Each structure stands twice: as structure tokens, then as C-alpha cells.
Amino acid sequence: MPPTTVSRKLTVDDILDLRAYEKVRAEKKAATIETKRRRRIELGTVVTVMFESRDTMWYQIQEMLRAERVISEDGVLDELRAYNPLIPEPGQLCATIFVELTSDAAMREWLPKLVGIERSFRIRLANGQEVAPVTDEQHDSTLTRENVTAAVHYIRFEFGPGDLAAFGEGPVQLLCTHPNYLEVAELAPFTVAELATDLGI
């Protein structure tokens, strides 16, 4: 079935006010934890890839508004502008890349070594074809440095019709081709199924 053209982006009408959100927060938190479990890939020892969705971004926005006690529509719009680019449209996968380092020493060691890592991910399909990422333009200028990388990056994968067909056939692998961090992980069937929904297949 070809991808639909209806946008999945969130609007102000999708966002609950603080009091309404508080009533459903525990339930939504539990559901989001389970959703993220199916979408989180541990790639090697220090990198985690989280494939985002409309649900994960809705929860992120609601939590940010709650933490900052935002009640104005302008404040909500600011969060929507920040996080809507991470909601995949049909034919896309969007991901947050976390370089998970727990000490200053580890950051001093790894962050200079991993410059350019955001462009080093690939999704390898059953036919051997690889889909390369596009870095998120909105965040790229603030995160990219010549001599040290950031601990968080935002990327997306754009799939053509042939890629979509191959993704549905499985298996699917996630690779990092950075020379200082060569890693590969095969996606679990439940993750492939979850991401196929994002792709609209």
C-alpha cells in the first residue's frame, strides 16, 4: 500500500493543558516506556539509537511543557517547532542518536573521536541495499563541530519505493560506519514491525 500523504505532525490541538495532562501522565508514561523499548537500539558500547514516532514526540513535548510550566500557546508552538521534525512522515524513519557517556574522562576521549558520526549510520535491507541518513537541518548547525561531536544528534532516513519493499522482506540491520566506531546490530522482528508502521508499509 503506498504511503498516505496526510501529515503526522502535531498541532496545538493535539497538546493537553497541564491539568489535563497530569490526569493521564502515569498512563502515558507507561505506554511510552513500552513504545521506546521496541524502538531503542543499543549499537555497541556507547551509542543508542531511538527511532522516534508521533507518540514519543507527543510525550516529549508534554513533559517539556510540564517541566517548564508552559501555559501559553506561543510556548506550545515553540516546542512543536522543535520536535515536529522528529516525527517521521510515511516513507521516513527519524532517529535520535545518543552518545551515552557517564564521565568527563569518557567525554574527553570519545566526543573528539566521533566527529561526523551522525552521517555514519546506515540501514541495510534484505537485498543488500543501504539507506544513508539525512541530518536534521534544524539541529545540525548547532550540533556539528569540526573537532568534537555532540552527545545527541537527530537524523532521518528517506526510503524510496524499492527500499520500502525490501524493508518489508527483512531482515534489517542498523550499522555505524564511522572509522572509530564500526558497529552493526540486527533489528528484532518487533522493531522491524514497529518501524514498518512509520514507513507506511
The residues facing 183 across adjacent strands are 176
pLDDT at 135: 85
In a domain, 5, yes or no: no
Residue 143 has pLDDT above 80, yes or no: no
Q: Is residue 1 part of a domain?
A: no
Q: Are 91 and 100 in contact (CB under 8 A)?
A: no
- Residue 72 burial by CB count (10 A; 0-12/13-18/19+): exposed, middle or buried? exposed
Q: What range defines the domain where residue 57 resides?
A: 12-199
Structurally, the chain folds into a number of domains equal to 1
Q: What is the mean pLDDT of residues 52-70?
A: 96
2-16, 86-100, 116-130: segment of lowest average pLDDT: 2-16
Q: What is the pLDDT of residues 151-161, one digit of tens each?
A: 999 999 999 99
Is the pLDDT confidence value at 63 over 80? Answer: yes
Helices (runs of H) and strands (runs of E) counted in the chain? 7, 9
Of all residues in the chain, what percent carry a pLDDT higher than 70? 93
Contact status, residue 50 vs residue 98, Cβ threshold 8 Å: yes
Give first-to-last CA distance, the chain, whole Å.
6
Whether 6 is in a domain gets the answer no
Q: Does residue 70 lie in a domain region?
A: yes
Distance between CA atoms of residues 148 and 118, nearest Å: 12
